[in-house]
Structure 1
Amino acid sequence: LLILVLLPGIGMEKNNSQRWIQLGSLIIQPSEAVKLVMVIYFAYVYAKKQRYIADFRKGVMPPLLILAAVFFLILKQPDLGTAVSILLSCGAVLLCAGLRIRHLLLLGTMAGTGIAYFAMTAPYRLKRLTSFSDPFQNENGDGYQLINSYLAIDSGGLWGNGLGNSVQKLGFLPEAHTDF
């Protein structure tokens, strides 16, 4: 499904991203399902490979190759946030599986360097990160979505407005269907 998303005529593009497949009136985002599938896959594989967990090449590496393929397919959409959340989730499974600390540090350093590289080399990603750290610096531009998401959370108070009853999504939150 991650490959199908990238094919012209099958993958649906919106806001310069091609992350969805439309099947009639149903729109699916395969990367959301992949989040769960990868965690289950990693938990299953590393539960079975416990006796090999100290052997990096035999016990740790094979599932990491699949994780790398998934990471790059999602990055191609482009969706660094989802790719990073999958990396972190699978990293947590590795930690719980009892991976050697030195292997964990090596993988963490490689992942951190790669994430920093991809974040810094795409100007829109860097702009998004800086606007996230101070959305009020450009409240009518890059910070608009985040500021209005704050307002949406605030207006709901402790108990919320109820499912579908947000006021902010009625024209103030441009991409209400996303992370917010």
Structure 2
Amino acid sequence: MPFLLRLIAPIDRLSLALAGLLRWGVLLAVLLSAANALLRKTLDLGSNALLEGQWYLFAAVFLLGAGPVLLRNGHVRIDVLAQRFGLRVQALIDLLGLLLVVLPLCLLLIELSWPLFAEAWRSGEASANAGGLPRWPAWALLPLGFGLLALQTGAEALRRLAFLAGALPSPYAAAAAPAAGGPQP
């Protein structure tokens, strides 16, 4: 168990670092959107590359941000039901959900999306729009995002398992306390 517990911290650090980068992705997407709108409305100039870049950034924030959201316990859940149980029952429910739903879904989506990315990479697939962007970066976000979510899912499952075994005081400490010296999502 101690070896497995040592895996949690690097995964958490990766998620927190990624969250810090994704903040900049949100800002860049907003700036691209504003620039594209201004160019279209004031100078009657449009750019499919700017528009698609904004879409890619939104997709990156959404797909790559799932792990940090899970780390911070910010995912959707039915708190009305969860708050009726003690921490041990909540941790057990979380553990079962992570192992029986989230992790298999991540693995399935990685398996299904990898061939799409590989084919787009191999063929050099590009947007059908004039001046559009290559498509492989967008396709790469799918297996990458679900891979990162699977990693954080594993860390969260280990955290709950360690709590249930008495090796950690609370599985929700990472969500409540900021990481020392790391970026905050």
| TM-score (norm. length: structure 1) | 0.34
| TM-score (norm. length: structure 2) | 0.33
Report 1 or 2 for greater relative contact order, CA contacts < 8 Å, sequence distance ≥ 6: 2
Which one has a larger percent helix, Structure 1 or Structure 2?
Answer: 2
